[in-house]
Amino acid sequence: LVMRIAKIYETQKNWKKALKTYSRYIKKYGKAQPEMVPGLYLSRALIIQREGGKRTRAKATAELKKAQKSYGRLKDKQKEDAKVRQAMAKVMFLQAEYKYDDFEAIQLTFPIRKLKKALVAKAKLLGECEKLFFEVTSYKSFHVSAGALYRIGESYYVYAKSLFDLPMPKGLSEDEEITYRAMLDDRAAPLQEKAIDATKNALKLAHKNHVYNEWSRKAAALLAKLSPELFPVLEDAVVNTEWDVPAT
C-alpha cells in the first residue's frame, strides 16, 4: 500500500510527497525487506533528477551512494535477485552518466597550451567513464548493459571526432599543415577503432539477449555511421540481406 501511494504521488508529479513516502517505506520496512532498499533509493534519485533545482546532481548522487551501501549489506542470494541486479545496474549507470557529462563538457580548443590541458583532462575522464560503464555490465541486467556498452563506444567516438574536427592553426606552412593533420589522424584513428569495437559489443549483446531498446537502436545507428561497409542500411530502410552481419 505504501509503495502504491508513492507511485500515485509520482504520477501526480508531487515529488516532495513521493520522496517522503519512499523514505517512510525504507524506515518502516527496510530491515524486513532489505532487497527492496537499493531500488527505493534509486527511485528517490530519479525523482530528484525529475524535480530539478539547485544541487540536483549532488542530491541524486547521495541517494545512489546509499543504494550502493544498502546493496553491500545484502546476502549473496539476495544480490542475485533479478530486480536487485537491475536496480543496481541502473544505479551505476546513472553515476556513470554524470561522469560522461563531465567528459562531454570538455571542449578541445586553442591555444596549444589550453588544448594540451584539455586533452589530458578528457583522456582521464574517458578512462573513468569506461571503468564505470563496464562496472554496470557486471550486474548482468542486459537492458541496462546495452546502454553502458553503447556509451563506451560513443565516448571513444566523441573523443575521436573532437580530434578530427580540430581547426588548422594559423600561420602554418603547407608542409606543417600536412604534418599537423597527419598527427591528429594518427591520434584519432585508434580511438575510432575502439569506438567501433565497443559498439559492436553493444549490438552483439543486444542480439544475443534479445534486447531491442533505445540503446540497441543507437548502437546500430552509430555503427552504420562509423563502418557503413560492414553495417550497410539501404536507402529504403530495408536491410541488405546479402551481408552476414547483425541487422542495422
154-208 pLDDT, tens digit per residue, is 999 999 999 999 988 888 898 999 998 899 899 999 999 999 999 999 999 998 9
- What DSSP designation does 36 have? G
What are the residue ranges of helices labelled H in the chain? 2-11, 15-29, 37-51, 56-72, 76-79, 82-105, 112-137, 142-164, 174-208, 214-226
Q: Is-contact 38 71, C-beta < 8 A? A: yes
pLDDT tens-digit readout, 104-158: 999 998 888 998 999 999 999 999 999 999 999 999 999 999 999 999 999 999 9
- What DSSP designation does 34 have? G
Q: Does 235 have pLDDT greater than 70?
A: no
User: Up-side HSE of residue 66: CA atoms within 13 Å toward CB?
Assistant: 19
Q: Give the whole-angstrom CA distance, residue 223 versus residue 206.
A: 14
Directed axis angle between helix 56-72 and helix 82-105, to 10°? 140
Q: Give the whole-angstrom CA distance, residue 93 versus residue 134.
A: 9
Q: Give the whole-angstrom CA distance, residue 160 versus residue 191.
A: 5
What pLDDT band is residue 239 in, cutting at 50, 70 and 90? low
Q: Of 164, 231, 173, nearest to 192 (Cα)?
A: 164
Q: Give the whole-angstrom CA distance, residue 196 versus residue 225.
A: 10
This prediction's pTM: 0.89
